[in-house]
């Protein structure tokens, strides 16, 4: 026991009027700053995220006796979907898509796959764009399965709206960069952060610090001391000149 009283949790509620904003500093967790040879960057928004469970159903038959043109291969269809999802993501700026967690039945080299399960994830700071590309992906899946004579189910399992960083706070952060003669480079956050949750309570702003090789959630995750020193100077200027 921690000696806490759950019934009094509402007493911890913060008053929006008491808060100027929420400012978060985080490693980028990606390779953009490193590719630009920049130590720090200004975040303009946190991506919205949607995830879908995709099930494609075909027919299991013998791999040695079923001609290619007569197969109902669910895994081959899934592979085609993966390619189309990647192509759609590449065509849409500030949009990311990933497919993973693939399960296949029967998962045998001498049997044609009859049922393939996978997950599609979409991310963008622009929710309208994300919703549009989601529809495009669904249409592509439908066309692929129709062409191959397969059944499919696509169900949304998760949806999180994008969050924009406060323009006034971004402007103050930009001035901090300029005072230090740094390039006020702006980038989106593809990952979710505490600032996303805090946006319900107050304006938010974020500063990204360069990640070596863009690694995160990895034992090799690393940020050099010089970059952290630059970040501290930016934070100092930002806070001193906030009002």
pTM: 0.87
Judged against a pLDDT cut of 90, whether residue 3 lies above it is answered with no
| 180 and 120 share one domain | no
What 3-state DSSP class applies to 121? strand
CA angle 169, 198, 163 (to 5 degrees): 70
Helical spans, DSSP H, in the chain: 32-35, 74-91, 127-148, 167-179, 194-198, 225-240
Domain count, the chain: 2
| 170 and 133 share one domain | no
Pairing relationship of beta strands 186-189 and 40-46 according to DSSP bridges: parallel
What 3-state DSSP class applies to 20? coil
Confidence of residue 28 (pLDDT cuts 50, 70, 90): very high
Percentage of residues of the chain with pLDDT beyond 90: 90
End position of a domain, from candidates 160, 190, 209: 160
Q: Answer yes or no: is 3 within a domain.
A: no
Q: What is the mean pLDDT of residues 89-109?
A: 96
Judged against a pLDDT cut of 90, whether residue 195 lies above it is answered with yes
Q: What is the mean pLDDT of residues 75-91?
A: 98
Containing structural domain, residue 226: 14-47+163-240
| 131 and 192 share one domain | no
pLDDT tens digit sequence for 214-231: 999 899 999 999 999 999
* Residue 220 token pair: 């090799």
| 56 and 103 share one domain | yes
What is the average pLDDT score of the chain?
95
Give φ, ψ of 227 to 5 degrees: -65, -40
| 183 and 197 share one domain | yes
């Amino acid at each position: 026991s921690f000696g806490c009283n759950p019934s009094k949790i509402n007493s911890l509620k913060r008053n929006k009027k008491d808060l100027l904003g929420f400012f978060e500093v985080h490693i980028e967790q990606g390779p953009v700053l490193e590719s630009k040879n920049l130590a720090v960057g200004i975040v303009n928004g946190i991506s919205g995220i949607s995830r879908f469970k995709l099930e494609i159903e075909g027919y299991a038959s013998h791999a040695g006796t079923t001609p290619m043109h007569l197969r109902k291969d669910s895994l081959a269809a899934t592979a085609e979907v993966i390619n189309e999802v990647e192509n759609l993501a590449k065509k849409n700026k500030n949009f990311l898509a990933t497919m993973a967690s693939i399960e296949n039945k029967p998962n045998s080299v001498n049997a044609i796959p009859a049922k393939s399960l996978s997950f599609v994830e979409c991310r963008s700071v622009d929710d309208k764009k994300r919703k549009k590309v989601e529809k495009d992906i669904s249409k592509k899946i439908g066309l692929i399965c129709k062409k191959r004579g397969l059944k499919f189910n696509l169900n949304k399992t998760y949806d999180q709206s994008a969050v924009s960083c406060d323009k006034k706070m971004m402007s103050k952060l930009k001035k901090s960069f300029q005072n230090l003669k740094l390039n006020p480079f702006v980038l989106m956050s593809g990952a979710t952060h505490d600032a996303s949750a805090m946006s319900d309570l107050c304006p938010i702003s974020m500063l990204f610090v360069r990640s070596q090789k863009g690694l995160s959630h990895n034992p090799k995750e690393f940020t050099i001391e010089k970059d952290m020193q630059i970040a501290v100077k930016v934070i100092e200027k930002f806070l001193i000149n906030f009002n």
